[in-house]
Copies of this chain bind each other. A is one copy, B any other.
Amino acid sequence: MKLVIIGAQGTIGKKVSNLLSSEGHEIIQVGKKSGDYQADLAEPETLKTLFQKIGRFDSLAIAAGEVAFAPLEELTLEQWQDSFQNKLLGQIQAVQKALPYIRDGGSFTLIGGSLSNDPIKAGTAASTVNRALEGFVISASCDLPRGLRINLVSPTVLEESVKTYGNFFPGVIPVAGDRVAQAYKKSILGCQTGQIYFVT
């Protein structure tokens, strides 16, 4: 299988990349500045060009996307718009721009996050965007043609990130990146569609 991974150099992207390549799949690594190809979720035109260059492939997995963190009273209109443009609309546009190139029966795997239903202080934009992605995946599964599947991986804070972000998640038990990669594997190699895989 030819698998495109956007965010292939991130903590999760590397795990997914290693897991699937170890099983003999061909991995096309995409990063903002690294990888086989470059693209930026915040700039839809780069996504269009990306898939024109890659051509036909079987599955797209995304493990990238940025959102703003700030108390609700301080979140600016620009921070909201940037958050929507990047992690939310960036992933949606990646799906849409990939449609002409992905093979029949292929799959899309997007990334959300557990803040969608387990909020933290100053995480309003993340909760909004992550939950929006759940709605997108659930409904997109009704609209996708040619047996294409789509699922969302929704992890809590990673063990690998707990030193940096742990204090923002009081009482939240972190999860190993390896477990998150298994959720991607389920989405990519399995049969399900319209599902949200909470990895907690």
- Interfacial residues, chain A to chain B (CB-CB below 8 A): 44, 71-73, 75, 77, 80-81, 84, 88-89, 92-93, 95-96, 99, 115-117, 119-124, 126-136, 138-145
A130 CB to nearest chain B CB (Å): 6
Q: Which residues of B contact A75 (CB under 8 A)?
A: 96
A144 CB to nearest chain B CB (Å): 7
A148 CB to nearest chain B CB (Å): 10
8 Å CB contact of A128 from B44, B122, B139:
B139
Q: In this complex, what residue of B is CB-closest to A81?
A: B89
A65 CB to nearest chain B CB (Å): 14
Q: In this complex, what residue of B is CB-closest to A115?
A: B139
Q: Which residues of B contact A136 (CB under 8 A)?
A: 124, 127-128, 131
A121 CB to nearest chain B CB (Å): 6
Q: Is the CB of A119 within 8 A of B92?
A: no
